[in-house]
Amino acid sequence: MPFYEREDKIIEILIKKQSMTVEEISKELFISKPTVRRDLIKLENKGFVIRTRGGATLRNKSADTKIPFFLREQEHNEAKQIMAKKAVKFISDGDTIMMDATTSALSIIPYLSDFHDVIVITNSAKASVLLGSIGIKNISTGGLMIPGLYSYIGKEAQRTILDYNADIMFFSCRSLSEDGYLSDNSLEENTIRLAMMSRAKKKVLLCDSTKFNKKSLNNLCHLGEIDEIICEKDIPENILKMLKRGM
């Protein structure tokens, strides 16, 4: 079991019980005590827990902005968490990552601290703050913010994106049709995604299964322009065949 999966499970346990010993965590997760101790050191460095003599307690949620975000993703967005864990397998140390302002992309952020020297370019004000709070270098596009969504759009945001090159891009959209077209109701956000796509070597769509066989107002692109698709469930073979790598 990799660290990011153990991290989730340790946090889940501490949410329920607030405090546990190394021995209790070891028995609960069927992992060795030395592994638990190493994991608790990492979690303490991230600000999630406070180590105690022989165990750990969950850090006061009201005192740490990282914890509420992490817990919200854990408790209410199971599909997004599954996709985030799959997404990090495409990331390497030193990567430059472009990320749109969707909650699917945001769910990847807690796992980026396991990598060295990554840089994230995003049009999400919320993502930029969260990345900074866990010490991840990031570039915010700036621009006109969409009220309530904390996402930047417009020419200023596009110009910033076009100044950079990325190894990988993570994004989502509202719908994926039967004939392989990605669509969304926001033309402005699709314009930002297209700018990111033009500057990223690998383009990865995060698409939960509820979006399959649907259409929204504005077409973004076809699956044939996308390198990978990540879903919380098995992806139908006809969809995989429409990807760039399957054509």
Q: pLDDT digit string (tens) for 18-30?
A: 789 999 999 989 9
Q: pLDDT digit string (tens) for 169-221?
A: 999 999 999 999 999 989 999 999 999 999 999 999 999 999 999 999 999 99
User: What structural domains and CATH numbers belong to the chain?
Assistant: 3-63 (1.10.10.10), 77-246 (3.40.50.1360)
Distance CA 188, CA 43 (A): 38
3-state helix, strand, coil in the chain (%, to 5): 50, 25, 30
* CA Rg value for the chain: 19
CB within 8 Å of 11: residues ≥ 6 apart? 43, 48, 49, 58, 70, 71, 74
